[in-house]
């Protein structure tokens, strides 16, 4: 509530522009009883964390032997040494993981705060939250905070709590604070949970205010790929994760009747979100397409907002003479702040090349300036590109010293020198072949002693292939409807839908993005529910079957077996966690409100969900993953994910680790290693596919469900690894679990292993969930 | 630092404790002979890299057979071994076997107790880097050897950066030293 007084004269004083704000009065008429941990502090869920971490213990893989975070250092932590502050290597590694997750969570929270403040200013604090046909509209927020946000103003209160928590967590990484690696890990899990809420806040705000698809299984298809952009038109490229400036562009063009005449294209999550606003906008590709698209010369204006943007975007834009507009306080790029300037003057400066770019912190003004600048500059630029001619490639190849520095700098160890050697004779085939596996980092160029633009060489060689990139992606649908959860909640919890697998995260792939599409298609065919978000959702689209159809054209977008469901941008990841939470709420009637531990226990033991971040690169991906861990959802990362330097691994050979309570009796019951790991880096896609099937098993599976899941696990293992899994006996609880088609084979293994029949409990790790104790 | 003992991937700096460079392949065969319970871990690149006379996995098979060393295959590598008629002792994700090797109480792949020597070949360089680091810091009583063609500073012992030809030649000598054909 706020009271504003413009001017008040009394005998005591004269008040001018007086404003009194009283904290928001939350009118809470929610019938659901509050749970034990609303707005949990850093330690409120520590007991749950310790249970999880007792089973899934950290395995640390330090990059190097030292710590260099304070002036005591560098400190050598090798071989059980402690640093000058007293910290050992395990704690130091977990500290770094916590730092990464705090960075990730802070990034989403700052994004959410920025977005909510802007939308409150634009639409008012009482603008209602409406994300579609859902009763449980904010499952993560309800679960963590114990409140039910109704309008944009309520989200500000949630953000106040989240920001406080991240501050506490970050402070724990200071020298002389936390000393236990396990407590650092507990804080990592807290950071992830906080991040999940922040993402949900951001996406609820933008879905509600901007009218994005509202839990729509039939969200429209948008175009994706380099080849879908019409270079004959003025082209605006937006990059980043905060959509208001891109919406400003679409609105301006629409208002002026110019939208069809100018291409609005995007990279990364802003691209997802702009297609959620206007499916006519086009997605170029995931973040690894930044350099190749800019250097192609197609964009006439580059607009950057925040997150995952190359720090040299201004340098690259200048190479093609494209003005750049920075639109976020997170990423000012050294540009003059022109927010208060007359648009005419800014445009004149940009079009005439007086300045390389401008910082404009007003999304509406960005819209006008970007649109008018693109239209004015396009005829002057004539799509000036920064790609070499074929002759320049071959001449460069002739001068190559074969020093191998490019290959040694390449994260994927691509054989660039060999490809260059082939190019000497004019054959660019080997260079073109590198295109699919190139992550677009350009470290090869920085390493080259002759300053060859090697990334551009690769892009030039693959120019034809690049122009043929034309696919369809289903626009991010947002949340999952309650009615969908009602339909599939039972089959998921009973195991009859073999799993929910979510492809999330960045594009730091070991062998190109096509692997994401291949894995997603395989599991959709196996009747898993396949979810996608962020760059992974884009990579999943960039694939065609024999009929020329993309995965999103082949598979429906509803939350059901066999679907491929794009929820949207990075912040839409919250709907994936939200779906798992809603299964507990809607299907199992568990209370959500401030009841985190019970719901996480439910998800870990019953919901066969697995996250896959095949190209995980960022700190945000780390915090997104940690939000899944605390909720009991295992996450598989690609081989580059090993660089997060800590895994959470179960030990299936330690029988004691795999007991749960039977909530019906209080008995402790062995349930096998289900799921076996909580966080693990797979080496190849084949391995990942086997492990997705394996990590989908849960103690609560019915015999029919377990039989289905075992069928997938065994079948994939035999097909892709060439072997019968050696741990099948650990997953068979009763003979009814044995897949009928594999009965003889599995039975023989059980006999060899001395297997004994067990029972299927009502599984929980929480003693308080036991309904009746024996005796 | 000589070029031969620079980490293969640029910018990867290990720290104060770095792998001893294997001066000649007979050092490896001697260490294998001396070890009480060695184990060989083969990543997927062991089945992809082309040598003159086969692939690294062919040498893994010969070493394993000659010295009686159990083989753990990671990724999809068991399938490739089977194509050569060789059944590995177990399949496991690379980080999983590494994690177990840090456990002094683990009874090993063959149930004969903790492994005292682990030989690695065929993991992606950066994965090998991190796994070997994990073992360097968190395993006790374990020596690690990188049999790959590039220097791995986090191993106990590593080849320097080698040409394909020199690498294959070293692997051949190890097999012969162990008494293999």
Q: Is the pLDDT of residue A313 over 50?
A: yes
Is the backbone peptide bond immediately before A74 cis, with ω within 30 degrees of 0? Answer: yes
Q: What is the pLDDT of residue A2?
A: 47
Q: What is the pLDDT of residue B54?
A: 95
Q: Establish if A443 touches chain B: CB-CB under 8 angstroms.
A: yes
Q: Is the pLDDT of residue A26 over 80?
A: no
For chain A, what's the residue count? 775
Task: Please check whether residue A562 is in contact with residue A570, taking contact to mean a CB–CB distance below 8 angstroms.
Answer: no
| Residue B106: φ, ψ to 5° | -65, 140
Same domain for A232 and A205?
A: no
Chain A and chain B share a number of CB contacts under 8 A equal to 135
Q: What is the pLDDT of residue A609?
A: 97
Boundary-marking domain end, from A401, A430, A452 = A452
Q: What is the pLDDT of residue A709?
A: 97
Give residue-wise pLDDT tens across range A205-214: 999 999 999 9
Q: What is the pLDDT of residue A774?
A: 60
Task: Please check whether residue A331 is in contact with residue A270, taking contact to mean a CB–CB distance below 8 angstroms.
Answer: no
- The rounded distance, in Å, linking the Cα atoms of A707 and A732 is 8
Residue A509 lies in a domain: no
B:49-108 residues touching chain A, CB 8 A cutoff: 74-76, 78-83, 90-91, 93-96, 98-100, 102-103, 106
Residue A174 lies in a domain: yes
> Residue A200 is encoded by which pair of tokens?
């949900």
Residue A633 lies in a domain: no
Q: What DSSP string describes A533-602?
A: EHHHHHHHHS---TTS--HHHHS--SSSTT-EEEEESGGGHHHHHHHHHHIIIIIT----TT-HHHHHHH
In a mutational test of the B interface, the residue from A58, A59, A651, A691 whose CB has the highest number of chain B CBs within 10 Å is A59
Q: What is the pLDDT of residue A494?
A: 87
> Residue B90 is encoded by which pair of tokens?
């177990």
Bigger pLDDT: A496 vs A174: A174
Q: Which of B8, B75, B127 sits opposite A686 (nearest CB)?
A: B75
Question: B79 vs A510: CB contact, 8 Å cut-off?
Answer: no
Residue A459 lies in a domain: no
Give residue-wise pLDDT tens across range A648-689: 999 999 999 999 999 999 999 999 999 999 999 999 999 999
Same domain for A231 and A202?
A: no
Question: A61 vs B134: CB contact, 8 Å cut-off?
Answer: yes
Q: What is the pLDDT of residue A6?
A: 56
Same domain for A232 and A376?
A: yes
Which of A407-416, A696-705, B3-12 shows the lowest per-residue confidence on average (mean pLDDT)? B3-12
Closest Cα in chain B to A638: B127
- The rounded distance, in Å, linking the Cα atoms of A358 and A212 is 29
Q: What is the pLDDT of residue B5?
A: 87
Task: Please check whether residue A507 is in contact with residue A540, taking contact to mean a CB–CB distance below 8 angstroms.
Answer: no
Residue A566 lies in a domain: no
Q: What is the pLDDT of residue B117?
A: 98
CATH architecture type of domain B19-113+133-177: 3-Layer(aba) Sandwich (3.40)
Closest Cα in chain B to A68: B15
Same domain for A353 and A413?
A: no
Q: What is the pLDDT of residue B2?
A: 72
Chain A residues closer than 8 Å to B15 by CB: 64-66, 76, 78
Same domain for A359 and A297?
A: yes
Q: Is the pLDDT of residue A3 over 70?
A: no
Task: Give percent above pLDDT 70 in chain A.
Answer: 96
Give residue-wise pLDDT tens across range A220-276: 999 999 999 999 999 999 999 999 999 999 999 999 999 999 999 999 999 999 999
Same domain for A240 and A197?
A: no
Task: Please check whether residue A362 is in contact with residue A342, taking contact to mean a CB–CB distance below 8 angstroms.
Answer: no
- The rounded distance, in Å, linking the Cα atoms of A97 and A622 is 8
Q: What does DSSP assign to residue B134?
A: H
Q: Model pTM? A: 0.96
Q: Establish if B133 touches chain A: CB-CB under 8 angstroms.
A: yes
Q: Is the pLDDT of residue A29 over 80?
A: no
Q: Which of A78, A413, A680 sits opposite B125 (nearest CB)?
A: A413
- Domain residues for A416? 390-452
Task: With cut-offs at 50, 70 and 90, classify the pLDDT of residue A80.
Answer: confident
Q: Is A318 helix (H, G, I), strand (E, B) or coil?
A: helix
Comparing CA positions, the residue from A287, A281, A335, A288 lying closest to residue A307 is: A287
Same domain for A258 and A199?
A: no
Same domain for A234 and A363?
A: yes
Q: What is the pLDDT of residue A1?
A: 43
- The rounded distance, in Å, linking the Cα atoms of A654 and A640 is 28
B:14-33 residues touching chain A, CB 8 A cutoff: 14-17
Residue A542 lies in a domain: no
Task: Please check whether residue A559 is in contact with residue A481, taking contact to mean a CB–CB distance below 8 angstroms.
Answer: yes
Q: Establish if A726 touches chain B: CB-CB under 8 angstroms.
A: yes
Question: B80 vs A722: CB contact, 8 Å cut-off?
Answer: yes
Task: With cut-offs at 50, 70 and 90, classify the pLDDT of residue A25.
Answer: very low
Closest Cα in chain B to A410: B9
CA of A683, closest CA in chain B: separation in Å? 6
Q: What is the mean pLDDT of each run of 10 residues along chain B (181 residues)?
A: 82 90 96 98 97 97 97 97 97 98 96 97 98 97 97 97 97 95 75
Same domain for A368 and A273?
A: yes
Question: A78 vs B17: CB contact, 8 Å cut-off?
Answer: yes
Chain A residues closer than 8 Å to B81 by CB: 722
Radius of gyration of chain B (CA): 15
Sheet with strand A763-764: strands edge to edge: A668-670, A659-662, A763-764
Question: B127 vs A642: CB contact, 8 Å cut-off?
Answer: yes
Q: Is the pLDDT of residue A14 over 80?
A: no
B:152-181 residues touching chain A, CB 8 A cutoff: none
Same domain for A330 and A442?
A: no
- The rounded distance, in Å, linking the Cα atoms of A61 and B137 is 8
Q: Read off the CATH number of the domain in which A77 is found.
A: 1.10.8.190
Any idea where the domains of chain B sit in the sequence?
Answer: 19-113+133-177
Question: B76 vs A686: CB contact, 8 Å cut-off?
Answer: yes
C-alpha A337, offset from chain centre = 31
Give residue-wise pLDDT tens across range A164-174: 999 999 999 99
**Domain count for chain A:** 3
> Residue A144 is encoded by which pair of tokens?
């963590």
A:644-683 residues touching chain B, CB 8 A cutoff: 645, 647, 649, 651, 653, 677, 680-683
Residue A419 lies in a domain: yes
Q: What is the pLDDT of residue A4?
A: 53
Question: A90 vs B124: CB contact, 8 Å cut-off?
Answer: no
ipTM above 0.95, yes or no: yes
Give residue-wise pLDDT tens across range A558-611: 999 999 999 999 999 999 999 999 999 999 999 999 999 999 999 999 999 999
Boundary-marking domain end, from A432, A452, A472 = A452
Give residue-wise pLDDT tens across range A48-66: 999 999 999 999 999 999 9
Question: B131 vs A61: CB contact, 8 Å cut-off?
Answer: yes
Same domain for A427 and A354?
A: no
CA of B28, closest CA in chain A: separation in Å? 23
Strand partners, A302: A237, A324
Task: Please check whether residue A320 is in contact with residue A295, taking contact to mean a CB–CB distance below 8 angstroms.
Answer: yes
Radius of gyration of chain A (CA): 27
Residue A528 lies in a domain: no
A530: left (phi over 0), alpha (psi -120 to 50) or beta: beta
Q: What is the pLDDT of residue A30?
A: 77
Same domain for A350 and A406?
A: no
> Which residues 6+ apart lie within 8 Å of B166 measured at CB?
none
* Mean pLDDT, rounded, for A190-212: 98
Give residue-wise pLDDT tens across range A62-71: 999 999 999 9
Task: Give percent above pLDDT 90 in chain A.
Answer: 93
Boundary-marking domain end, from A423, A452, A481 = A452
C-alpha distances (whole Å) from A199 to each of A34, A297, A623, A672 are 23, 34, 11, 34
Chain B residues closer than 8 Å to A677 by CB: 96
């Amino acid at each position: 509530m706020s009271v504003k007084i413009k001017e008040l004269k009394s005998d005591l004083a004269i008040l001018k522009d007086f404003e009194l704000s009283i904290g928001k009065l939350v009118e809470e008429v929610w019938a659901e009883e509050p749970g034990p941990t609303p707005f949990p502090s850093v330690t409120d869920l520590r007991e749950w964390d310790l249970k999880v971490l007792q089973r899934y213990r950290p395995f640390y893989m330090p990059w190097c032997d030292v710590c260099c975070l304070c002036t005591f250092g560098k400190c050598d932590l090798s071989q059980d040494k402690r640093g000058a502050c007293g910290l050992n290597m395990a704690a130091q590694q977990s500290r770094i993981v916590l730092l990464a997750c705090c960075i990730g969570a802070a990034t989403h929270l700052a994004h959410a705060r920025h977005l909510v403040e802007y939308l409150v200013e634009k639409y008012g604090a009482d603008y209602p939250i409406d994300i579609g046909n859902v009763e449980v509209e904010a499952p993560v927020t309800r679960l963590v905070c114990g409140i039910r946000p109704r309008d944009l103003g309520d989200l500000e209160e949630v953000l106040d709590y989240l920001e406080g928590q991240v501050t506490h967590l970050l402070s724990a990484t200071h020298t002389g604070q936390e000393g236990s690696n396990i407590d650092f890990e507990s804080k990592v899990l807290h950071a992830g949970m906080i991040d999940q809420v922040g993402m949900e806040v951001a996406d609820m705000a933008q879905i509600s205010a901007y009218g994005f698809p509202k839990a729509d299984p039939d969200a429209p298809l948008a175009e994706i790929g380099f080849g879908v952009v019409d270079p004959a038109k003025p082209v605006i490229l937006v990059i980043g994760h905060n959509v208001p400036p891109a919406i400003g562009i679409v609105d301006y063009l629409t208002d002026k009747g110019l939208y069809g005449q100018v291409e609005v294209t995007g990279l990364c999550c802003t691209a997802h979100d702009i297609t959620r606003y206007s499916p006519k906008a086009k997605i170029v590709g995931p973040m690894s397409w930044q350099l190749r698209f800019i250097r192609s010369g197609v964009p006439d204006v580059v607009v950057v907002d925040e997150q995952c943007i190359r720090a040299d975007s201004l340098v690259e834009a200048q190479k093609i003479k494209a003005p750049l507009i920075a639109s976020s306080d997170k990423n000012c790029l050294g540009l003059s702040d022109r927010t208060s300037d007359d648009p005419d003057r800014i445009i004149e400066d940009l079009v005439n090349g007086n300045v390389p770019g401008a910082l404009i912190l007003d999304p509406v003004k960005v819209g006008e300036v970007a649109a008018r600048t693109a239209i004015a500059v396009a005829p002057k630029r004539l799509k000036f590109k920064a790609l070499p001619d074929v002759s320049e490639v071959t001449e460069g190849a002739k001068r190559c010293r074969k020093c191998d520095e490019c290959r040694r700098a390449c994260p994927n160890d691509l054989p660039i020198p060999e490809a260059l050697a082939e190019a000497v004779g004019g054959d660019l085939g080997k260079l073109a072949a590198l295109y699919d596996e190139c992550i677009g980092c350009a470290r090869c160029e920085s390493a080259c002693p002759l300053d060859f633009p090697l990334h551009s060489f690769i892009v030039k060689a693959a120019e034809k292939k690049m122009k043929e990139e034309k696919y369809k992606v289903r626009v991010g649908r947002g949340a999952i409807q309650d009615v969908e959860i009602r339909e599939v909640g039972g089959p998921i919890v009973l195991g009859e839908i073999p799993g929910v697998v979510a492809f999330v995260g960045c594009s730091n792939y070991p062998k190109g993005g096509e692997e994401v599409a291949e894995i997603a298609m395989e599991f959709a065919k196996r009747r898993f529910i396949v979810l996608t978000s962020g760059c992974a959702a884009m990579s999943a689209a960039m694939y065609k079957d024999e009929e020329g159809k993309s995965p999103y054209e082949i598979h429906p977008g509803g939350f059901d077996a066999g679907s491929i469901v794009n929820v949207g941008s990075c912040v839409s990841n919250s709907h994936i966690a939200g779906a798992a939470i809603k299964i507990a709420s809607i299907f199992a009637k568990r209370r959500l409100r401030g009841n985190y531990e019970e719901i996480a226990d439910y998800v870990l033991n019953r919901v066969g969900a697995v996250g896959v971040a095949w190209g995980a690169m960022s700190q945000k991906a780390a915090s997104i993953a940690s939000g899944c861990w605390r909720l009991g959802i295992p996450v598989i990362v690609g081989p580059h994910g090993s660089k997060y330097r800590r895994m959470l691994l179960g030990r299936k050979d330690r029988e004691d680790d795999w007991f749960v309570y039977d909530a019906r009796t209080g008995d402790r019951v062995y349930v096998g290693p289900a799921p076996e790991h909580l966080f693990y880096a797979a080496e190849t896609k084949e391995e990942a596919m086997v492990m997705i099937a394996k990590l989908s098993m849960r103690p609560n599976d019915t015999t029919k469900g377990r039989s289905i899941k075992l069928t997938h696990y065994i079948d994939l293992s035999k097909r892709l690894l060439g072997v019968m899994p050696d741990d099948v006996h650990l997953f068979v609880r009763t003979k009814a679990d044995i897949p009928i088609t594999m009965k003889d084979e599995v039975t023989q293994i059980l006999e060899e292993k001395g297997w004994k029949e067990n029972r299927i409990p009502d599984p929980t790790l929480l003693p308080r969930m036991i309904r009746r104790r024996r005796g | 630092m000589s070029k031969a003992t620079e980490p293969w991937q640029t910018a990867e700096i290990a720290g104060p404790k770095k792998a001893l460079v294997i001066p000649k392949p007979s050092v490896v065969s001697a260490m294998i002979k001396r070890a009480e319970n060695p184990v060989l871990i083969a990543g997927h690149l062991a089945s992809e890299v082309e040598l003159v006379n086969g692939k690294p996995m062919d040498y893994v098979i010969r070493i394993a057979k000659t010295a009686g060393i159990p083989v753990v295959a990671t990724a999809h590598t068991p399938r490739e071994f089977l194509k050569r008629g060789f059944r590995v002792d177990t399949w496991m994700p690379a980080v999983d076997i590494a994690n177990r090797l840090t456990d002094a109480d683990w009874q090993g792949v063959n149930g004969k107790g903790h492994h005292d020597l682990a030989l690695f070949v065929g993991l992606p360089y950066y994965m090998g880097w991190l796994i070997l680091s994990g073992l360097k810091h968190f395993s006790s009583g374990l020596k690690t050897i990188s049999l790959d063609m590039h220097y791995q500073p986090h191993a106990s012992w590593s080849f320097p950066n080698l040409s394909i030809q020199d690498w294959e030649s070293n692997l051949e000598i190890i097999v012969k030293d162990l008494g293999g054909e």
